[in-house]
């Protein structure tokens, strides 16, 4: 079983302003091969938020961390953004596609944009954040499981 550790910095939106927070993501095994597990560790305001679970990818741990953070603190990244969509044909873990210039009402609306040529310019790492970040909401369709897991 292989073990990989990724370090990512996440932007946190807080009542006191934005702050960067380093996170450590540990993956045992390869996501495409079962079994595997992931662990996420993040420190905010002197408190450690760590989640580890078997047979899950790190999105689940980040969702649980978001739930444990104060309600007024939001993890801001492509994975949590209303413009960050997963690929409708199957997602590569950690890859999201930014559609900040388009609005969709359902999964099928994304299909014409799911070609390699059209996706390449929109590809983002899950932890990337830009000035156009907006929180996901049930009122704004995003093909992304983060909002459904919250």
- pLDDT tens-digit readout, 93-125: 788 999 999 999 999 999 999 998 999 999 999
Q: Across 45-92, where does the E strand assignment appear?
A: 47-54, 74-76, 84-85
* DSSP string across 2-22: -EEEEEEEEEEEETTEEEEEE
Q: How confident is the model at residue 92 (pLDDT cuts 50, 70, 90)?
A: confident
pTM over 0.85, yes/no? yes
**Which comes out higher in pLDDT, residue 90 or 113?**
113
- List, for residues 21-46, the tens digit of each pLDDT value: 988 888 776 555 555 677 889 999 99
Radius of gyration of the chain (CA): 15
What pLDDT sits at residue 96?
94
Of 144, 71, 75, residue with least CA distance to 107: 144
Q: How confident is the model at residue 143 (pLDDT cuts 50, 70, 90)?
A: very high
């Amino acid at each position: 079983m292989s073990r990989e550790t990724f370090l990512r910095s996440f932007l946190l939106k807080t009542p006191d302003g934005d702050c960067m927070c380093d996170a450590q993501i540990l993956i045992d095994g390869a996501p495409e091969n079962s079994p595997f597990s992931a662990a996420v560790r993040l420190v905010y305001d002197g408190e450690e938020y760590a989640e580890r679970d078997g047979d899950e990818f790190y999105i689940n741990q980040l969702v649980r961390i978001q739930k444990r953070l104060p309600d007024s603190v939001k993890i801001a990244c492509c994975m949590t953004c209303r413009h960050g969509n997963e690929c409708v044909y199957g997602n590569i873990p950690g890859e999201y596609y930014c559609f900040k210039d388009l609005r969709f009402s359902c999964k099928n609306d994304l299909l014409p944009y799911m070609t390699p040529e059209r996706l390449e310019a929109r590809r983002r790492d899950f932890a990337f954040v830009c000035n156009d970040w907006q929180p996901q909401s049930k009122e704004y369709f995003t093909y992304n499981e983060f909002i459904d897991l919250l």
